[in-house]
Structure formats: C-alpha cells, structure tokens
Amino acid sequence: MLIRRSFLFVLGMVLGLGACNARTPVTEDERLQLMATTSIVGDIVQQVGGDTIKVEILLPLGTDPHSFTPTPQDIARLGDAELVFINGAGLEEFLIATIESAGVDVHLVDLSMGIPLRSLEASAEADEQGSDPHTWMDPINVITWTQTIADALADLDPQHRDIYYENASNLLGELEALDLWVRAQVEQLPGDHRRLVTDHLVFGYFTDRYGFEQIGAVISGFSTLSEPSAQEVAQLEDDIKKLGVPALFVGWTANQNLARRIADDTGIQIIPLFTHSLSEEGGDAEHYQDFIRYNVNAMVSGLR
C-alpha cells in the first residue's frame, strides 16, 4: 500500500515533532464542533478525532439518504459547524442544492475525493449517469476517508494534529485487517455462490473488490427512489430461479414490500443487511467495522 506507507512516513514526522508536547485534556467547551451527514461518515470522523471533537449526525439512524429532506433547522446546524463531513460522490445532492439556495456558509469536506468512482453507466441494470455514491462498502475506500479526515482536522486544529494522525494510523491498520478478514470469509464460498440480489445497487464497490457478481436488484438503480417496471421484476424473478440464488439481501432502511413479494414468488429467503446507516449504540453495527462484519457474515451464511 504505497498510499499508506507515504501517509505513515508523514505521520511519523508529525508525531516526532509533537512528541515533546504534553497532551492536555480537552474540555467539553473546547472540543471541535463538527457535523457529518450519515452515521457511517460520523463514526469514522469520531474514530479519527477522538476526545477532541464532538460530531453531530444530520440523518437520524435508519434514515435512507436517498429520500431525506433537510429542514431549515438542519441547515442552520450545518452553518454552525466548524466542518461538515459528507460522503460525496453525489450522495448528498439534496443537501448541496439546499445549502446553495439558503445562502448558508458551510465548510464541506468531501470524503470521496481521491477515490476512483464507479460509473453508474457501468451497470447494465441502471439507466443512469454520474457516479456510484456507495463508496463506504469497500474498506479500502474508507482508508482514503481516514486520511482526508486526519488532514482536515489537523489543518483546523494544529495543536492536536499528532492525536489525529495517531488515531488515523491505528484506524488504517484496523481497516487493512478488516479487508483481509473479509477476503478470508468470502473464500469460504465457491465462485458460483457469490451472486448477490439486493434491494438496489448498493454493493458495487464491495462486489468489485471481493469477487461477487451483482446479478440484479429489486430496484435496478443506485437510488431507492427508483421504481421497477413489471417487466424488470419478472426478469429478476426468472434470473433468481435460473441461477438458483438462495437469498435476497435487503437493507434495513429500504421498503421491503416488493422484496417480500419477489421472495414469495421465487421461494427464497430475505436477509436484512445494513446499507446506509449504522445501528443504535450497542446494536449489531454500532461502528463501521461492525457494519462490515455483520454484512459479510450474513452474506456468507445466506449464500453458502
């Protein structure tokens, strides 16, 4: 990992220069006041920032970002934050347009900058343009997030830059280990068992990295706001039967009515996954690392 080695070289210099500085505790009033659009983004920001920051989350847990509409109060909160971290890649288009029309000065940090984005046109299933926004489905992409967050926090708060880069280094190690763990779990599945049918096309980055095939989705697009035609539903059911796909994976935040109908028609099981949101504190996906492990365990179990 050339990027990681370069990052750690810079990190070592920063920590070496700051090693003589005592780490004084940060009081509640002194913590940086930050915002993140989703709970997944907010969790990674919190892991990098540690005790020196306070992160508010714009979208409540369990909210589908494709259908979220911010209130005037939400926009005011965004304007009050010192930095606002967004997933980027088009996920928060709803937010960007609202901020621009409201004329609020918001300091955005786009975490998908620098990530090679999948083209929506690359999918034969989706008649869309632009980029696939679901970058968090690949832990290696979240390594880029981590580096971007550490740089943004260090620029905003140079006094604690050594803390941010040390936390980031620890998180990078966890993400690399998580990537290896996912590979080990997936290797339990024969190649012809690595076929995914989901509620919408959310797992593109995941399938690209770990050798799965996304053979179809209830909604043949990258947004849950799309509506499938009767012909598309019939074709998906035919593909499920023909390929012997045993499970339909549906996000907790998705409308499951149509998925249940397809499962009933084809005789397969529905397995819920976390897609756009973490769980509540103490739940199965309290942190991003838990989110990935839960989904992979569910996939391997359902496809074995």
pLDDT at 49: 98
pLDDT at 18: 47
**Do 137 and 274 reside in the same domain of the chain?**
no
**Do 7 and 153 reside in the same domain of the chain?**
yes
**Do 39 and 147 reside in the same domain of the chain?**
yes
Report whether 89 contacts 135 (CB < 8 A).
yes
Does 94 reside within a domain?
yes
Alpha carbons 17 and 161: distance in angstroms, whole number: 10
Report whether 197 contacts 249 (CB < 8 A).
yes
Instruction: Tell me the pLDDT band of 2, cut-offs 50, 70 and 90.
Output: very low
Examine the pLDDT at 58 and tell me if it is beyond 70. yes
pLDDT at 252: 86
**Do 53 and 163 reside in the same domain of the chain?**
yes
pLDDT digits over 153-170, tens only? 999 999 999 999 999 999
Closest to 59 (Cα-Cα) out of 95, 7, 26, 11: 95
Q: Collapsing DSSP states into helix, strand and coil, what is residue 219?
A: coil
| pTM flag (> 0.85) | yes
pLDDT at 97: 82
Average pLDDT over residues 24-47: 91
> In terms of pLDDT, which residue wins out, 225 or 230?
230
Examine the pLDDT at 265 and tell me if it is beyond 80. yes
H or E, element range at 90: none
Does 23 reside within a domain?
no
Torsion, CA 44, CA 50, CA 51, CA 54, rounded to 10? -20
**Do 221 and 245 reside in the same domain of the chain?**
yes
DSSP classification of residue 20? T
SS (H, E, C) 139-194: HHHHHHHHHHHHHHHHHHCHHHHHHHHHHHHHHHHHHHHHHHHHHHHHCCCCHHHC
pLDDT digits over 75-100, tens only? 999 999 999 999 999 999 888 888 88
Instruction: Tell me the pLDDT band of 136, cut-offs 50, 70 and 90.
Output: very high
Domain that holds residue 76: 2-14+29-111+119-181
How far from chain centre, in Å, is Cα 241?
A: 31
Torsion, CA 297, CA 139, CA 47, CA 70, rounded to 10? -90
pLDDT digits over 14-28, tens only? 554 444 344 556 787
Domain with 200 in it: what CATH number? 3.40.50.1980
Examine the pLDDT at 118 and tell me if it is beyond 50. yes
Instruction: Tell me the pLDDT band of 237, cut-offs 50, 70 and 90.
Output: very high
Instruction: Tell me the pLDDT band of 177, cut-offs 50, 70 and 90.
Output: very high
Q: Which of 130, 160, 181 is the last residue of a domain?
A: 181
> In terms of pLDDT, which residue wins out, 65 or 244?
244
How far from chain centre, in Å, is Cα 171?
A: 15
pLDDT at 224: 53
Instruction: Tell me the pLDDT band of 253, cut-offs 50, 70 and 90.
Output: confident
DSSP classification of residue 66? G
pLDDT at 129: 63
